[in-house]
Structures are given as C-alpha cells and as structure tokens.
C-alpha cells in the first residue's frame, strides 16, 4: 500500500460530513475483582471497582468518525429514560450532532452491560441486555422520515448501522437508499441478516463472514468459500463493492469485473473485537467521502489499520486520527 497516498487521504477527513442512521445503544462495563464463590449458587461474587459506559452501535460508528476528524450527525431513536438522556449528553460532549435523534416514551434505550473480572486477566463473566426491539410508533417514524427526507442532501454520505433493534425496517432502508442515490451520495452499510437484501444498490456493504455465509447460503469451509460468497452476494446486491470482514484474518473486497482482493490484518495484539466493525465502516465512509479518486482498496486499507488499533484496546473503543497517522507511518 502506498503510504503517501493513505496519508493524503487522512488530510481530507476533516472536510467530510456524514450522517449515521441506525440503532443507538449504550455499552456499559462493570469492572471488578472476583473475591469468592457465592454461598447462594456456584457463581463468582464480583466486587465492583469501576463502572463506565461508552457509545455503542450506531453511536460508536459516529464516535469513531468524530474521533478521526470527520463531521457527523446521528439519526435514530432513544427511549425517554435516564439512559437515553445519558447518551444524549455524551453525544453533545463528543461534538456529534443530535438533531436527528428522537426520544420515544415507553421505549427502553438499548443497554448492553458487561460484567468483567479483571484479575488476573480480563474475563467477561456475563452480559445483561435491556432493549425494546418493536417497530417505532407512527409519530416517531414520521418525524424520523421527515428529518431524513430534508437532510440527506446536506451530507457527503450516509452510513446505515443496523443492529436489528427495530429502527431500520426494509421499507425505511429502501427509502434511504433511493433518496441517497438520487442525491448522488455515498451509502455505506453494516448489515444485519434480517434486512440483508433491502440494501440492494448501496455503495459499499460490509458483512462479516457469518452474515455473508448465511445470506449467501454458502457454508464457510475455507478461503475459497469466502470468495464464492462474495461473488454471489455482489451480484445480488448490485453494490459498488462488498467487503467481507473476517476478524483476525483481515477482509476481502469484491468489486464488479475484478478479482477478489484480500487485505490482511495489521493488528499486533487482539484483546477485544467489540466495535471493530463500527470502526471499519466509519473509517471507510470517511475515506470514500473525501472524493471520487479514492479507491475502495485504499479505504479498506485505512479501515484495517484503524481496526487494528481498536482491537488492541479493551471494551468498545475508538481510534483517533493521531493513532492512525502513527500506525501508517510505522507500518513496514
């Protein structure tokens, strides 16, 4: 990869304006030490030492875009509860625009709580989820659709971050894709299986191996099965590029009339893959948003470096522009 080229793409990040639409959630982590086994049941007793939260789901995608220097607006729904307020406050602190966020009374804000014992090493003991996955109330849906109709024009691209929590229905996805295409905007998708083929016509779709395998009905046996999945899905989805992310194996890019292109991983140490997919799509959207001369391969290389930074951190993490610059400089 041409290092100079990647560095010049980074320079354009601050000019890019992106709209992230999707399921916003809170990732809470409770860190503690295991003091003993409970006398009530054969489970560890965790003495809490630290508790904090980070932006999760579409919120994490927006946070990554912001920390890499891009301008970002988030569109989605939060419950009218205390956790929703906490997320809103954090978004404002991080300079993420919130005009597209709608509060719905009676809806629970999605919260994933991970209880982690950190002696002698980090081990997740249990995850507790709170969520409402029903479709939005009619009034919420109308307000959100109106925001999207009026605002898509203002951005360089739209990122759809689908976590299957009820916001992105097939109908809403198709509406967004059509409107964004008409306005000649970039459309990036991190898909969920349920709506997989509603994303037809998007610019770049980034499923992981498992999602690609289930959507294409091709079992994952070896590298050539990934190639078969990619080619089949690219044809059906009619997107400009399909990127299958493969965890520690990096990613493979599929584009029409081109051979599959593998981008090997650059992570030195993998501690935690939570949120790495959010980093990949956020970085790629920024890179492609800088201009038409940027190829998907370059965007994927940058995303790969950014993901390498994130998996070296514990919990839902983000990569900063400085970290990304440094990693590219130091790369062989």
Residues belonging to the active site: 278
Strand 24-37: give its sheet, edge to edge.
44-57, 24-37, 110-117, 123-130
* Rounded Cα distance, 242 and 235, in Å: 10
Cα 110 from chain centroid? 16
- Residue corresponding to tokens 């969920």: 192
Sorted by sequence, the CB contacts under 8 Å of residue 152 that are 6+ apart come out as 19, 158, 176, 179, 180, 183, 185
Helical H segments across 45-151, by residue range: 58-67, 82-93, 138-151
- Collapsed DSSP state (helix, strand, coil) of residue 143: helix
* Rounded Cα distance, 107 and 326, in Å: 42
Q: Determine how many CB atoms are found less than 10 A away from the CB of residue 197.
A: 13
- The partner residues of 253 in beta bridges, in order of sequence, read 243, 261
| Per-residue tokens: 80 | 């009218």
Sorted by sequence, the CB contacts under 8 Å of residue 120 that are 6+ apart come out as none
């Amino acid at each position: 990869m041409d290092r100079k080229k990647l560095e010049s793409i980074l320079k354009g990040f601050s000019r890019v304006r992106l709209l992230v639409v999707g399921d916003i959630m809170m990732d809470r982590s409770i860190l503690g030490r295991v003091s003993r086994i409970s006398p009530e049941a054969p489970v560890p007793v965790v003495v809490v030492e630290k508790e904090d939260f980070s932006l999760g789901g579409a919120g994490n995608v927006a946070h990554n875009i912001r920390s890499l220097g891009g301008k970002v607006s988030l569109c989605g729904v939060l419950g009218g509860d205390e956790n929703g307020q906490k997320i809103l406050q954090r978004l404002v602190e991080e300079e993420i625009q919130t005009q597209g966020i709608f509060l719905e009374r009676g809806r629970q804000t999605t919260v994933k709580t991970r209880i982690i014992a950190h002696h002698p090493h980090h081990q997740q003991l249990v995850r507790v989820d709170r969520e409402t996955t029903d479709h939005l109330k009619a009034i919420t849906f109308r307000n959100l659709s109106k925001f999207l109709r009026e605002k898509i024009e203002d951005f360089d691209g739209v990122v759809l971050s689908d976590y299957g929590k009820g916001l992105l229905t097939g109908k809403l996805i198709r509406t967004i894709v059509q409107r964004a295409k008409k306005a000649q905007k970039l459309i990036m998708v991190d898909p969920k299986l349920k709506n997989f083929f509603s994303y037809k016509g998007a610019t770049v779709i980034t499923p992981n191996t498992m999602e690609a395998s289930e959507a294409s009905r091709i079992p994952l046996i070896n590298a050539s099965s990934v190639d078969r999945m990619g080619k089949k899905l690219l044809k059906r989805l009619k997107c400009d590029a399909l990127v299958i992310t493969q965890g520690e194996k990096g990613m493979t890019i599929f584009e029409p009339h081109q051979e599959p292109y593998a981008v090997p991983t650059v992570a030195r140490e993998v501690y935690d893959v939570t949120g790495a997919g959010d980093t990949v799509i956020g970085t790629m959207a920024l890179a492609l948003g800088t201009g038409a001369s940027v190829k998907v391969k370059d965007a994927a290389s940058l995303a790969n470096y950014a993901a390498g930074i994130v998996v070296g951190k514990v919990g839902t993490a983000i990569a900063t522009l400085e970290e990304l610059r440094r990693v590219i400089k130091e790369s062989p």
